[in-house]
Structure 1
Amino acid sequence: MSTRERLIESTRTLLWERGYVGTSPKNIQELAAAGQGSMYHHFSGKEELARTAIDRTAEGMRAGADALLSGPGSPLERVAAYLRNERDVMKGCPIGRLTQDPDVMAAPVLREPVEEMFGWIRGRLAEVLAEGVEAGELSPAVDPRTTASAVIATLQGGYVLARAADSTQPFEQAIEGLLALLGAPGVR
């Protein structure tokens, strides 16, 4: 892995674990086994490196979510596959956690990919839920956009509940409760 890639991957790891405020250039350099000169050769500073890392994280999340939401099965089966996908629940969402970082939210260049990711996933879920309405799997009264927002809110809230309880159980209950409300097949 090149020095540039090690810097990006180290920043991704540290942003997820510590947030932007808790991630110093020195921490990044140490984890990447790269010197200060290498970091500033590839990036103008911490903000540019963080933006690159956030973009990379969002790209990976989009690809993974799209694979599940475009995969086999009915619309509700695909939503269930997305929600039940294996995650590091106790660490929380790598993008969602950034919304709690005041420096990320105050910097448009860092906030932008976070907003874009949530906008994209809301839109993609709304498309799949609209398919469910069209197929008769969901009631015609279900609004795909607002329901997509509820799905994301449940997922993000599930992370918070799990971390507060130091257990994945509240996350799993939130997901299964939402799927039961949607009438998804295979609800445990």
Structure 2
Amino acid sequence: MRIPKGEGRERLLSAATKLFLKNGYDATSPQAIYAESGVGQGSFYHHFANKDALVHVVLLRLVESESNRLREINARSSNPLSRLDLYLQITRVGTDGCKFGRFVYEASIRKPEMADPIRAYFAELLKFLEDNLSEAIRRGLIDRQEDAKALSQTIVSQIQGGYTLSRIYQDDTFLERNLAIVRQLVGLNPVPNIANAS
């Protein structure tokens, strides 16, 4: 079946995103991407120089989507504690793993095409957390005098560690417990999840 003009690139990106998140980058061959997308080898190399160039665009799109989520949270409330609450209420499935964390364990993480977008996302996430923690501490909304930068790193480490243990043991409760610990750290009561995310 002939693919309509202009659809090949989007099909490749959609197929690659699905396969990378399911099977990993290194384990996904170009042939698997051709088969999933219905796009041939010639069209692949018309749009992307190689698989590294493809994953770079896939990651840039994932970063943009998740970064937009952080901006939307900031826009929804002027209260920094409410923003932290909204971030922690994002639905996460531990056994699925973090979108970005999945790539970190790949041998190819040494390549800038993969490392740079992921590093940029975590820098933005840490800034989001640090800015809101700093303001919440300054306003007395969080009864802690801890360094906001260190606390933001602890939060990310708890969440990523929860993903790792959930995947190792195929048990979502590891991540759920770590999220509960984070909520205690910032003085938030347990609440149900409300949104989908990584």
User: How does the TM-score come out when normalised to structure 2?
Assistant: 0.87
Instruction: Give the Cα separation in 2 of the matches to 1:68 and 1:97.
Output: 24
Instruction: Give the Cα separation in 2 of the matches to 1:173 and 1:140.
Output: 21
Q: 1:135 maps to which residue?
A: 139
Superposed CA RMSD: 1.7
- Contact 1:11–1:53 under 8 Å retained in 2: yes
Instruction: Give the Cα separation in 2 of the matches to 1:34 and 1:8.
Output: 11
| Secondary structure in structure 2 of the residue aligned to 1:137 | coil
Residue 77 of structure 1 and its aligned partner are, at CA, apart by 2.6
- Contact 1:83–1:155 under 8 Å retained in 2: no
Q: Equivalent of 1:187, from 160, 185, 190? A: 190
> What is the one-letter code of the residue matched to 1:43?
F
Q: Is the aligned partner of 1:46 residue 2:72?
A: no
| Secondary structure in structure 2 of the residue aligned to 1:44 | coil
Q: 1:56 maps to which residue?
A: 61
Q: 1:85 maps to which residue?
A: 90
| Secondary structure in structure 2 of the residue aligned to 1:95 | helix
Structure 1 residue ranges (4+ consecutive) displaced by more than 4 angstroms after TM superposition: none
> Which runs of 5 or more structure 1 residues have no equivalent in the other structure?
none
> What is the one-letter code of the residue matched to 1:49?
L
- Contact 2:94–2:174 under 8 Å retained in 1: no
Structure 2 vs 1, CA of residues 157 and 69 (structure 1 numbering), >3 Å: closer, same or farther? farther
Structure 2 vs 1, CA of residues 33 and 88 (structure 1 numbering), >3 Å: closer, same or farther? farther
Instruction: Give the Cα separation in 1 of the matches to 2:56 and 2:121.
Output: 13
- Contact 1:69–1:82 under 8 Å retained in 2: no
> What is the one-letter code of the residue matched to 1:125?
L
Q: Equivalent of 1:146, from 141, 144, 150? A: 150
Residue 73 of structure 1 and its aligned partner are, at CA, apart by 6.3
- Contact 2:143–2:187 under 8 Å retained in 1: no
> Which runs of 5 or more structure 2 residues have no equivalent in the other structure?
1-5, 192-198
User: How does the TM-score come out when normalised to structure 1?
Assistant: 0.91
- Identity among equivalent pairs (%): 27
Matches within 5 A, 1:10-25: 10-25=15-30
Instruction: Give the Cα separation in 2 of the matches to 1:156 and 1:55.
Output: 20
